[in-house]
Amino acid sequence: MKLTIFGAGYVGLVTGACLADVGHQVLCVDVDAKKVARLNAGEIPIHEPGLDAIVARNRSFGTLEFTIDVAKAVDHADVLFIAVGTPPDESGAADLKYVLAVAESVGKLMAEPKVVVIKSTVPVGTSDKVRSKLSQVLASRNVTLNFDVVSNPEFLKEGAAVDDFLKPDRIIVGTETNYAREVMKELYKPFNRNHDRVLYMDSRSAELTKYAANALLATKISFINEIANLAERLGADIEEVRRGIGADPRIGYHFIYPGLGYGGSCFPKDVQALGRTATELGYDAPLIAAVETVNNRQKTTMFGKIAAHFGGADRLGGKRIAVWGLAFKPNTDDMREAPSRTLVEALWRSGATVTAYDPVAMPETRRIYGDRPDLVFAPDKYTALDGADAVVVCTEWQQFRAPDFDEMDRRLASKVIFDGRNIYSPEHLRRDGWTYISIGRPPVT
């Protein structure tokens, strides 16, 4: 099938590349001319394992193309995906201006019937808004053309996006018409060989499914962080508690790792947007609000531990703190809402210098903060430790999991590890004379 994808970001690019890889003829269109030029030069603007190969392969076959030409993009296909950003507006609600701008372009340019598929995460009722926008623009042109609007939210995880897209747990298709349902069935057929993964529902339920999924995952994280904070005060070990509760299949081991709070481009904004939806309805949703409150507080806990260790925030001036990992999670260079940002900004406010190492997110960090004397990027994880007063693990990249502790000792000015991901063994570090402060576990001092 011929498909057009509006937006060549994390979701649009992965969607386009994977749909091309199963045989569709895909054109990705983006308003960011620089991004499109890079893609046309064979560069991948984001770090996503496996994506380069798929993009390269399909570019060479001619099954995946990139353009900034909106008219060409609308004309290219009968099925048009919207995968543009939906950032929070000032009130925390999802800002639909990019989604509606695409709907407007499609309405202005379409010359034959289209199926418009919303892949962006959008509040309940957005399919209706896109439908009205299209009708309105077509009416202003005095044109009558059939179109369908489908809600097809995306559940891929950054860092595993290609795998997730190619082997989805489920594909949600929210539509009110049989025609759109058949089109979507055909389009996703290659992903359905093993078993039917498509769940059909109405568009409002599909839209809510996406928010409910992200809000529940965020709830699990805030819940375990809440328990971790209690464990610290009670002299319990959250890792024992985590294993103890995860063994119950009704709870499971997934997504109950304590840490520095969730970040990224989805959970924070989606929890906020769901809360905003509730407010707009006049419905009090205290659980959703608490998930966000707990998370915001959790992002500040590591700074509190560091400040306490050094005798107060006012004693951090002139200290050098090494930070291992900047991205909001491993295998991505995405820094949006990363807990590392809350930490390094607090360290800077106290006059500390940060020496950071992240396998892929340093260019993005430099883009965000620019060059500043209190941020030094190290070429590798050990160099980041040279002369530092402590190291903080912010992201559990594989290469941080089993470091050479003797080498760390040689490099650091003092044997102090703050572990925001609980990846080291307190017993081991106690034996070797480290000060080791983690999340929800008794400190090793």
Query: Where in the sequence numbering do the catalytic residues fall?
Result: 266
Among 102, 238, 343, 378, binds ligand NAD (CB under 6 A): 102
Place of tokens 């001319």: 33
Output DSSP code: residue 94: B
Residue 343 interacts with ligand NAD (CB under 6 A)?
no
CB of 46 to ligand NAD, least distance (A): 7
CB of 35 to ligand NAD, least distance (A): 5
Among 20, 74, 79, 83, binds ligand NAD (CB under 6 A): 83
Element (H, E) at 343: helix 339-349
CB 390 within 8 A of CB 416: yes
Other CB atoms within 10 Å distance of the CB of residue 247:
10
User: Measured between alpha carbons, how far is 188 from 250 in angstroms, rounded to an integer?
Assistant: 31
Binding mask 256-295 for ligand NAD (x = CB under 6 A): ---------xx-----------------------------
User: Measured between alpha carbons, how far is 391 from 46 in angstroms, rounded to an integer?
Assistant: 27
| Cα atoms found within 13 Å of the Cα of residue 48, Cβ hemisphere only | 28
Binding mask 3-22 for ligand NAD (x = CB under 6 A): ---xxxxxxx----------
Among 3, 25, 55, 85, binds ligand NAD (CB under 6 A): 85
Please report the sign of the dihedral spanned by the C-alpha atoms of residue 41, residue 44, residue 49, residue 51.
negative
CB of 8 to ligand NAD, least distance (A): 5
Tell me the window of 30-38, 279-287, 303-311, 404-412 that interacts with ligand NAD (CB under 6 A): 30-38
CB of 227 to ligand NAD, least distance (A): 26
Residue 172 interacts with ligand NAD (CB under 6 A)?
no
Edge-to-edge strand list for the sheet holding 435-437: 375-377, 353-357, 320-324, 390-393, 416-419, 435-437
Residue 332 interacts with ligand NAD (CB under 6 A)?
no
Among 101, 109, 160, 166, binds ligand NAD (CB under 6 A): 101
CB of 442 to ligand NAD, least distance (A): 35
Enumerate residues 6+ apart whose C-beta is below 8 A from 326.
Answer: 335, 338, 340, 341, 344, 356, 358, 361, 362, 364, 365, 394, 395
User: Measured between alpha carbons, how far is 429 from 44 in angstroms, rounded to an integer?
Assistant: 40
CB 258 within 8 A of CB 242: yes
Among 48, 65, 148, 158, binds ligand NAD (CB under 6 A): 158
Residue 126 interacts with ligand NAD (CB under 6 A)?
no
Output DSSP code: residue 261: -
CB of 31 to ligand NAD, least distance (A): 4
Q: Report the site for ligand NAD in 410-439 (rule: CB under 6 A).
A: none
Other CB atoms within 10 Å distance of the CB of residue 326:
28
Among 98, 211, 328, 400, binds ligand NAD (CB under 6 A): 98
Residue 164 interacts with ligand NAD (CB under 6 A)?
no
User: Measured between alpha carbons, how far is 366 from 401 in angstroms, rounded to an integer?
Assistant: 25
Q: What's the distance, CA 58 to chain centroid?
A: 25
- Name the token pair of 443: 């400190």
CB of 85 to ligand NAD, least distance (A): 4
What residue is closest to ligand NAD based on CB?
9
Closer to ligand NAD by CB, 52 or 226: give it: 52
Site residue total, ligand NAD (CB under 6 A): 26
Q: Which positions touch ligand NAD (CB under 6 A)? A: 6-12, 29-32, 35, 83-86, 98, 101-102, 120-121, 154, 156, 158, 265-266
